[in-house]
Amino acid sequence: MLDKERWFSEPCKDAGNAISYEIDAHLHHEKSEFQTIDIYKTTHFGHLMAIDGFIMLTQRDNFLYHEMMTHPALFTHDRPQDVVVVGGGDCGTLREVLRHAGVKSCLQVEIDERVTRLAEQYFPELCSANEDPRAAFKFDDAIRHMAEAEDESLDVIIIDSTDPVGPAEGLFGPSFMANCFRTLRPGGIIVQQSESPLIHQELIGQIRGNMTQAGFDAIKTLCFPQSCYPSGWWSATMAGKGRDLSQYRQADIAQRDFKTEYYNEGIHAGALHLPEFLRRALEHSPENASNSQ
C-alpha cells in the first residue's frame, strides 16, 4: 500500500503493527497469472519487491534470509549434492546454494516465472548463479513436482515460499511434507521458512508437527533477524531424515571459500537454541508435543 506521502506500508493484523519504507519511485506493476507483483525503489533499502501487497525482499537486507535458509542445512549435511529449491523465484536462495562447490545440481521449482524474470531485471545480483551449469529451472506447481519426484533422489530440499496463502498454501500441508520425506535420501535435510517466532508460533508448531508426522526424527527451528518481515524477526525450520542436526561441519564453515554477510559458525551454533518463550510455546503445542528444540 503506497500512501500519498510515498511510503509503502505492509500492515500485519496479527501483530497490530506495520513495516514501512519511504519510496523514491514505483518501478513496475503487473498482474501475472498467479499474483500481483510490484517493484519499488526505496530511499534507503534499494529495490523492494512486493507480491499481493506483501514485502518479499529488499536489496539491503535479503542476505539475512537467503543465508539462513541455505547454509545451516548445507553445512549440516555430510555431502550435499542434489538440491531442490521450492519457490525462491528471486533466485537468492539458488545463488547461496551454488556457493557450495560440492553441490552438483540445484533445481528451482517456482510456479510464477514472472517473479524470476523481474528478479533478473531489478535484482540482478541475486541472479548471478542463474547461468551456472549446475542450476536448473522448472516453472510449475511444486506440489505436483514433489508428488512425482523419484524416491530418495535428493539430499536437501529448501522450501523458500511466500506466506501460507494463495499459491503457497499447499506447501505447508502434511501431504506435501510426506512427499518431501520420501524424495530425500537417508541423512537428507529439509528447510522450510516458518514465519515470525514472535507472532506465528502456532504455525511453527504446525510445521514441526507435519515434519514429525512425515517421519523426520530431528527438528530445529532457527531464528534470525529480518527487518522487512512482520516483527523484524523470522525463522527457518530444519528437519533431518535419520540424522542429528546438532552436529555440523564446523571446520568447513571456518574454511569456506565464499563470503557471507551474516552467517558464520557462531551464528549457526546460536541459532540451534530456541528463545525461551518459543521453547515453552512449542512444548505446549499439540502439533509438536515431541522435540521442542
User: Which domains are present in the chain?
Assistant: 7-58 (2.30.140.10), 62-288 (3.40.50.150)
Of 20-34, 55-69, 157-171, 260-274, give the lowest mean pLDDT range.
157-171
- pLDDT tens digits, one per residue of 44-60: 999 999 999 999 999 99
pLDDT at 164: 62
pLDDT value at 289 more than 80: no
Confidence band of 163 (pLDDT split at 50, 70, 90): low
**Predicted structure pTM score:** 0.94
257 given a catalytic annotation: no
pLDDT value at 293 more than 60: no
pLDDT at 169: 63
pLDDT at 287: 56
> Which of 38, 90, 160, 163 is an active site residue?
160
239's grid cell: 528437519
pLDDT at 165: 55
Mean pLDDT in residue range 12-36: 94
